[in-house]
Structure 1
Amino acid sequence: MKLTILGGGGFRVPLVYGALLTDRAEGRVTEVVLHDLDDSRLYAVARVLDEQASAVPDAPRVTATTDLDEALRGADFIFSAIRVGGLEGRANDERVALAEGVLGQETVGAGGIAYGLRTVPVAVDIARRVARLAPDAWVINFTNPAGLVTEAMSRHLGDRVIGICDSPVGLGRRIARVLGADPKQAWIDYVGLNHLGWVRGLRVAGRDELPRLLADDDLLGSFEEGKLFGVDWLRSLGAIPNEYLHYYYFNREAVRSYQQAEKTRGAFLADQQARFYEEMKRPDAAALTAWDRTRAEREATYMAENRETAGAGERDADDLSGGYEKVALALMRAIARDERTTLILNVRNQGTLAVLDADAVIEVPCLVDANGAHPVAVAPLPDHATGLVCAVKGVEREVLAAAESGSRTTAVKAFALHPLVDSVNVARKLVAGYTDVHPGLAYLR
């Protein structure tokens, strides 16, 4: 089976390959094609993968190419993890937004809109090529903003594109661990959009254990979200929000913290990864060791400004292992082998949330089999959550409309309607600032 990884020179690709190395069952991936626009990054990542495979007999064969059509032909699965504009683009997204006093995070608020505006046209082109060159392939999208990009691609690929994210998986795992439950045996009632969802229940053997967690101060304050949001606020919500909702619930504090930081997250990662890729140019460099060291630093500093604002302290060691690669592998296994499973995924709504239309991509538990991912019926969201979900989905639709039409006016509308952008004039300044620094937004007229 052939897996093509778009963004194959990306730093986290070894996580995906490492997961593939653990799969020895019949029907596993035997060929991995890395595609990237940057030869040097492809070379660096290929070196890491080669060291990973050195002690694994019959490891999946790895090839690399900068030719997109060549990479897509004959693929059974296509994993999309591209970053349009690179980490320099992410740093610019943050910088322009913070200069206007609003959040520049890559998936939330102004930064997420800017990232979406330059990523959607590229993702749509990829989707059209997949439909032409590999119509039977399944596309697994991890490209951010994941829900928005998945929806853009679904307009050309239908349900054969599925978005994944490690945030809900990590959240469910943390809650189960605190409650003394096996995450594999727990049903997680999670509903929302990508980076905008809530755990409303965690059922073990038919019993919802979340009320027990919400009633216990010690348990509730003992894990990442309890420290990040505070026990009182979680109890008020009656649910455990995705960590990215910290940007909404504590927006003023988050913006101030990011403005005061020595470097934004994007600038930090750009510098850190530049050192890694530079080190890989040395033939004698220990590729896997260098990658492991860089990844550990990356994970330990994840959402550091938010945790500092909340006084949450350091991340727990158990939360430094990522997880999206495991979701991707489980998804591929379920489809390729009809190994039925349940995963939290980004898929078309199909009536799951009545407040959104059928084609809106949402993030919910799905039953997965050889025919793809099927969203599970869920109870309606409370009004406060419904309001946020509908507002942000409305913004995503404006982003898609702007990307399709090239309308600068529509792009301004997308920014102005976002709950974290507080003025139409600020929206206009954001569009001006982003078009100045991003050549990929020159299409907006």
Structure 2
Amino acid sequence: MAARAQQAKKTVTCNLILLSLFFSTSLYIILARGRNAYHLRHPLLQPIQQFCNFSDGSWLYDKGAKPRYDHTCKEIFKGWNCIFNGKPNVEEIFKWKWQPRECDLPRFDPAQFLERFRHTKIGFVGDSLNRNMFVSLVCTLKKASNEVKKWRPAGADRGHTFLLYNLTIAYHRTNLLVRYGSWSASDKDGILESLGYKHGFRVDIDVPDLSWIEAPSYHDILIMNTGHWWWAPAKFDPIHSPMIFFDKGLPVIPPLSPSLGLDMVLKNMIMFVENKMALNAIKYFRTQSPRHFEGGDWNEGGSCQRNRPLSQGQVEQLFSLERNRTNVEARLVNQHLYKAIEGTSFRILDISRMSEFRADAHPSSSGGKKHEDCMHWCLPGLTDFWNDLLVVNLITN
């Protein structure tokens, strides 16, 4: 009898173990299916390799790729609307996909972006290349929701609120980030006059431009850039109309070169933003967007007539610091930028590498200007991938 009871006890124990395993396995399958279904419904939330270098990759041809929006998006500046303007290779521009070497850069879903960033304010601060990126984001989101209020929040040049989501996206135009204006010598013998200065541009390295001075305290996410205007000979001619830097209302003596002036401006404006933005705010500095002038600069007959991305060798010919040619500006500015954000809460949004290959994606002669536009980008086009990079950074960080 004792042996029989012992055997029965073992049988019950085994059955309980098997039953427990069955329920555990079933629960795991149910949860796994639920989790997978959730990720399928929410592509923005799918696992992304957090430690991938999304900037290191190459462009792959994707014959079936379609533009994310079309030429009817009213926010597209006329000169960038390459579909409407009939740029010869416009249909090919969209058919290239950026492929990082060790992971994928997913195309962000506008509907899920709107849902995820409800009650959020996103500001783009910088020159017209940041407007290029801003317009790309707005046009993409409008494909998912067109109930939009246009206004100018916090002194912005332009802005949009997606009403169903209370998501605001604004662009604050500023060429140098700081205040600047014309300067002329006075009748009094000042220190600048004694150094031979007669005309120029006063650049206050410690005073933010009014167009964005309210942006840090207004926005939750900030994407900043500067660089293109710092060596613009048509504006800041080093001989006839040089930059003259002021600090706390007084001229900086000895006078600074544009390179040193840029360093001072970056330092001061980064400090200004960090002091004004909330502790949980997200701050990016976008790296420099490369130009692709060949045969001279924009005012020297330079052009960009390529119809496909450059090879690695062609990229180095155009952008190598050692060659110091027309388009070297991007890598030079980036050196200043990386140095400036060290030890700060700013993050880098590195769009330079992927963009250096895309000599084919500028408006070129279809931009409607007297000279070819080899600086801005066709829309839809390359800057759509900049926003993919922005979104993946927002999610993984």
Q: TM-score, normalised by structure 2?
A: 0.30
Larger helix percent: 1
Which structure has more relative contact order (CA 8 Å, sep 6+)? It is 2
